[in-house]
Amino acid sequence: MSVYGHMMCFVNCHLPAHMENTHQRLDDFERMLEAHQFDGESVGSILDHDAVFWFGDLNFRITDFGIHFIREVIQGNRYSVLWEKDQLNMAKKKEGFLQGFMEGPLKFKPTYKFDLNSDVYDTRWKKSLFGFNGKKRKPAWTDRILWKLKNISEDESGEHPDADYENILKIILEKYTSHMSYGISDHKPVTGTFNVQMKPLIVAAPVAVRAEGEWNADHDALISYSVAKDFPSSTWDWIGLYPVGFRHTKDYVTYAWVKDDEISFSEDCNQKHRATWKVYLHFTSCTAQLFLEAISARPILQFFLGTTSTLYSH
Residues linked to residue 172 through DSSP beta bridges, in sequence order? 195
The mean per-residue pLDDT over the stretch 124-141 comes to: 69
Name the amino acid, one letter, at 18.
Answer: H
Instruction: Report pLDDT for 162.
Output: 52
CA atoms within 13 A on the CB side of 307: 30
Q: Specify burial of residue 58 (Cβ count, 10 A radius: 0-12, 13-18, 19+).
A: buried
Q: Compute the distance between CA of residue 290 and CA of residue 207 in angstroms, rounded to an integer.
A: 13
For 63, phi and psi rounded to 5 degrees? -95, 170
* Helix (H), strand (E), coil (C) string for 33-97: HHHCECCCCCCCEHHHCCEEEEEEECCCCECCCCHHHHHHHHHCCCCHHHHCCEHHHHHHCCCHH
Buried (b) or exposed (e) across 179-212, using 16+ Cβ within 10 A? eeeeeebbbbbbbbbbebebebeeeebbbbbeee
Q: Which residue has the higher pLDDT, 250 or 203?
A: 250
Asked whether 220 and 288 are in contact (CB, 8 A), the reply is no
> Over 80: is that where the pLDDT of 288 sits?
no
> Over 50: is that where the pLDDT of 159 sits?
no
pLDDT digit string, tens, across residues 244-254 = 888 888 888 88
The mean per-residue pLDDT over the stretch 115-135 comes to: 72
Instruction: Report pLDDT for 72.
Output: 97
> Over 80: is that where the pLDDT of 105 sits?
yes
The mean per-residue pLDDT over the stretch 114-142 comes to: 78
Flag whether the pTM goes above 0.85: no
Instruction: Report pLDDT for 310.
Output: 35
Instruction: Report pLDDT for 169.
Output: 92
pLDDT digit string, tens, across residues 82-92 = 999 999 999 99
The mean per-residue pLDDT over the stretch 99-120 comes to: 96
pLDDT digit string, tens, across residues 160-175 = 445 555 578 999 999 9
| Domain boundaries of the chain, sorted by first residue | 2-201+299-306, 207-290
DSSP-derived secondary structure for 97-109: GGTT-B-----S-
CATH for the stretch 2-201+299-306: 3.60.10.10
Asked whether 184 and 311 are in contact (CB, 8 A), the reply is yes
Q: Compute the distance between CA of residue 84 and CA of residue 62 in angstroms, rounded to an integer.
A: 9
DSSP-derived secondary structure for 109-143: ---B-B-TTSSSB--PPEEETTEEE---PPPB--E
The mean per-residue pLDDT over the stretch 5-11 comes to: 92
pLDDT confidence band for 306 (50 / 70 / 90): low
> Over 80: is that where the pLDDT of 48 sits?
yes
DSSP-derived secondary structure for 247-258: -SGGG-SEEEE-
pLDDT digit string, tens, across residues 221-272 = 788 878 777 777 777 888 888 888 888 888 888 888 876 544 333 334 333 3
> Over 90: is that where the pLDDT of 220 sits?
no
* Helix (H), strand (E), coil (C) string for 153-196: CCCCCCCCCCHHHHHHEEEEEEEEEECCCCCCCCECCEEEEEEE
Centre a 10 Å sphere on the Cβ of residue 243 and count the other Cβ atoms it contains.
Answer: 14
Q: Compute the distance between CA of residue 243 and CA of residue 36 in angstroms, rounded to an integer.
A: 40
